[in-house]
Structure 1
């Protein structure tokens, strides 16, 4: 038999050896993570709903989860949590798109001021268009909103300038933007606040080039204000709740969005030495788990899936073991098509981790 490159290739390069014939809970697609987080490093998080899981594990595992907008200490922690303090490193809510991220950065440094600063819902209820669900019930006046926004953007600046590692989860390519100035909203106006007007708002679906361009602008901006910052990119495995494209099924729209974000993340990690990609998307969506990491709605991720992702994150992306061991995902992974595992699957499905997700409002029952 002649020699060829595959004969001496390592096991992780073969599907049979590293996926098909491996216990699902032991599948590990991380080969060589370029840097490690130690407990002294300040780690900040942002992104889509799935990013909240990373924040939760870091916070509960003895690492220095960096929060620059924690809420006033006189307020009980339970009240602060209900008001979305500590959900992410600053109180910006879900950041689904690369366009939102670069605009948050530009707004924090006064280089972009949206022309639509407030949504007035009633005489004494005002919402921030760029984080409409962050303040439950809204603000009692535009002045209160503006004061809180100034404090918020100051906390965002502090976060960017003092973090050591920034973990960002890319969630969507679809977004709604202002026709006046291109400002990107976290959700379609009219869903969580505001009034939809097709003359004022336009649907936009980012291309791979646009995602790479927006993220490149952000990464270069972050490097200017914080040269030591390292960045970990992930892609959310949560499918679109709904697509604004009437000419596409939500399944194909989801495939497009995730493919674009995955290619963009790979491009950025190859282009920048301080950027790494972590494969949470592949772990949750991989065929090896036979759908067992999704709840019956095929969208929410069950705790076993989160544990698998975060167990590998702690193993490969951190320098020391977590203070509290990360639970092992249940084995065997339950399958909808395997009656023997149906009870196990239902058990897993009951353990869905609740996360704040604006996008879910697109398809309320």
Structure 2
């Protein structure tokens, strides 16, 4: 009797990622280690081989498990899931700029925009189908908490946008939009709802949560940006601590502590003290894999040793991370 080959766990476990720009490295690291990282909205076959990886990523392909771009707050993720289930309708979903139209919930995915609002909504409907499929398939959800600050629509629903109106597209109207700084109780409550939604599809689903070590570029809180950064990261870290302590199926990975630790003496940041350099990325991801995959950790450790003998490069320059939050600096000047 022939014994059936059993696929390795890395191929059986379906992992979904959704996070801020720093966390794009988590998905890349897991893919390189052979894990089954979901991509339910890949580059169309008609474009494969015709556009570079850089162009594809700039259009939102291959960054996460669906083409939603960066998700900076847990409320943004919650609303996305609710919309995919038909439980939420975003306010002002289409923004305009120079006669072109953009998906307000992911304005960076089409740099030239769409020809009409109808085309925007057609593409969004396709996107939501991919998100719904991702939710049904996921065994492990990886999410990095990036920000507490956001721009939202006025009203009871408070639609969360990944960028301020008027940065990539749209126009800022204080009668339609307002600044929101999410508090600890809101963040914990939002995560619990996200967990309930996903575990409705898979009762055994697990989470890996982290906090982005990238400080704010600018703030609309009225505080100094360093004060705003400490507040934001402290609230997010406390929220992660609370949810990982409360739920056994939630693991916290300390990427924030690895990069910002005083023992690192700032070695993992670029001279601008904001961008994480390649050495910091290799250190954080090496520890991540050491905690979750011994074989993958050995490969990354060898790569890190080699990298330490080479000039340290910026994270954004080396890997072409897509970070809309950097646009806030221009918006606030």
Tell me the secondary structure at the aligned position of residue 38 of structure 1.
helix
Given the two structures, how large is their TM-score scaled by the length of structure 1?
0.81
Query: Which stretches in structure 2 are left out of the alignment for 5+ residues?
Result: 1-8
Deviation at 1:219, TM superposition (A): 0.7
- 1:234 equivalent in alignment to 2:210: yes
Aligned to 1:94: 70
- Extract unaligned runs of 5+ from structure 1: 1-36, 334-343
Helix, strand or coil at the partner of 1:103: helix
Q: In the alignment, what sits opposite 1:38? A: 10
TM-score normalised by the chain length of structure 2: 0.89
One of 340, 356, 365 as aligned partner of 2:322: 356
What secondary structure is seen at the aligned counterpart in 2 of 1:114?
coil
Aligned residue for 1:106? Answer: 82
CA contact (8 A) 1:311 1:328 kept: no
Q: Offset of 1:330 from its aligned partner?
A: 6.0
In the other structure, the counterpart of 2:103 is 128
Q: Aligned partners of 2:75 and 2:56: how far apart in 1?
A: 28
Equivalent residues of 1:126, 1:142 under 8 A apart: yes
Within the alignment, does 1:284 sit opposite 2:259 as a pair? yes
Q: Who is 1:190 aligned against?
A: 166
Q: What is the aligned-residue RMSD (CA, Å)?
A: 2.2
Out of 75, 84, 93, the residue aligned to residue 117 of structure 1 is 93
Shift, 1:60, TM fit: 2.0
Q: Is the CA contact (8 Å cut-off) linking 2:151 and 2:163 kept in structure 1?
A: yes
In the TM superposition, what whole-angstrom CA distance separates every residue of 1:31-70 from its partner, at most 9, and x where no partner exists?
xxxxxx7343111111111110111111222221211111
Q: Structure 1 residues 131-140 or 257-266, which shifts more?
A: 131-140
Mapped partners of 1:48, 1:324: distance in 2: 25
Matches for 1:297-308 after TM superposition, within 5 Å = 297-308=272-283
Partner Cα distance (1:80, 1:254) in 2: 31
Give the aligned partner of residue 52 of structure 1. 24
Q: Partner of 2:133 in structure 1?
A: 158
CA deviation digits over 1:190-236, x for unaligned, max 9?
Answer: 11111001111111111111100111111111111222321100000
Say which one has the larger Rg.
1
Q: Deviations along 1:250-276, whole A, 9 cap, x unmatched?
A: 001000000000010011111112111
Measure, in 1, the Cα distance between the counterparts of 2:178 and 2:186.
16
Q: Which residue of the partner structure matches residue 141 of structure 1? A: 116
